[in-house]
Amino acid sequence: MSDHPIEAQLVLLAGTHASVPLDRLPSLLEGAQRYVSDHRTEYERRYERIEGARDADYYCAETGYWESVGEELGFNRREWEAVRRAHEAQFERDGRRLDREAEFESTLELREVVAVDATR
C-alpha cells in the first residue's frame, strides 16, 4: 500500500510524461502527500473540496500551487510537474467514474487539484 491516493497505473503515466524516473516518483508523491496532510486544515478553510469516487478527495487550489509546493519541498521542475500530472490524472479518472467528466475537466482549466487520502 502506498502513502498517497494515486493509483499505480497513473503514477507510471505521470512519470513517463514528465520524464521522471519511475523509481523516484512514488517517493515524490509520498513527500507531497505528507505536505498536503500537514496542511489539510488550512485547505478545508481555503479551498473548495470535491469528493472523489474512491479513497480520494480533492481540493481546488490556485494555478501555480504545485510549483510553489514543489519549490518548498526541493523538487525540480520535472518532479513537481510529475506530481501535478499524477494528481490531475487521478482527478480525471474519478470524474469518469462519477460520470462528471465534463465538470472535472472544466475545473482543471481554472484550478490545480490536490488529491488527499479520504480515509485518513
Say how far apart CA 54 and CA 47 lie, in whole Å: 20
Three cell numbers at 46? 481555503
pLDDT category, 87, cuts 50, 70, 90? very high
Q: Is the pLDDT of residue 91 over 60?
A: yes
21-76 pLDDT per residue, tens: 888 899 999 999 999 999 999 999 999 999 988 778 999 999 999 999 999 999 99
Cβ pair 15, 21 in contact under 8 A: yes
pLDDT category, 117, cuts 50, 70, 90? confident
Q: What is the residue extent of each domain of the chain?
A: 8-117
Percentage of residues in the chain with pLDDT exceeding 90?
73
